[in-house]
Amino acid sequence: MEENNAKIGKVIAIIFAVLIGIAVIFVMVVKDKEGGGSSSSSKEQVYDKNGLSFTYPANFVISTDNYENGLADVLCEVKGSDVSQIEITYASMNELGSLTYSEKREVCHTALNAMKDELRGNVIYRNCVFDPIKTGMLGDHQCYQMDFHVSVLSVTSEGEAKMVLNDDGQMLITVMLYENNDYKKTLDKIENSIKLQ
């Protein structure tokens, strides 16, 4: 029992460090709402690096692309507007594959709540309203999901944070922020195209 608790604690510590990084990047990129443009484009681009791939429209850009210690962190957003974006974080850790279903649930709930606390500690997200954690889908995988609503610079936006721990030891976290349903559809399409190697 102590060994399992130590294992869960170690995984939570790793994921908590990841989520702090996500919250910092997520807060840094919310600047303004200029030039929103069209939410879709007929041309698609492909991101394919470090075991992570997905497609995204031509009117989106990759503004953050970090890979360190086996952890990929990518931010894809609408050109000229930092209000509609998706951040994708991926890692493969042997420790994750050995967790039971209930341990994975505990890790995901703890991590999502930690992200919520981290965001609430920032002045921009202080008024953020978070829905209870629920099960959802992240591509083909069942995940844990926390929706949120926030007003940033007089713009009301919706958001979703999703987390999945696969049996093969892969962790995938997405955090999306969008200002309207058209952008949500585009971000959902990006999210559904995510493939892990």
DSSP 3-state assignment of 19? helix
The parent domain of residue 38 ranges over 2-196
Long-range contacts of 6-11 (CB under 8 A, 24+ apart): 7/95, 7/98, 7/99, 7/103, 8/99, 8/103, 8/106, 8/107, 10/95, 11/93, 11/95, 11/96, 11/99, 11/107
Per-residue pLDDT, 127: 80
Give the model's pLDDT for residue 36: 41
Total domains, the chain: 1
The confidence score (pLDDT) of residue 197 equals 82
- Which letter does DSSP use for residue 82 in this model? S
Contacts of 54 (CB under 8 A, 6+ apart): 46, 47, 76, 88, 190, 191, 193, 194, 195
- Give pLDDT, residue 184: 92
Coil, strand or helix: which one is 34?
coil
Show Cβ contacts of residue 34 under 8 Å, excluding neighbours closer than 6 positions. 80, 81
> Residue-wise pLDDT tens for the chain (197 aa)?
566 566 566 666 666 655 555 555 455 444 433 334 444 446 899 999 999 999 999 999 998 899 988 889 999 998 876 578 999 999 888 877 788 889 899 989 998 998 888 888 877 777 889 999 999 999 888 999 999 988 766 777 898 999 999 888 899 999 998 888 889 999 999 999 999 88
For the whole model, what pTM was predicted? 0.82
Q: Which helix (H) or strand (E) holds 190?
A: helix 181-192
- The domain that contains 192 carries what CATH number? 3.40.1000.10
Per-residue pLDDT at 87? 92
Tokens describing residue 108: 């995901």
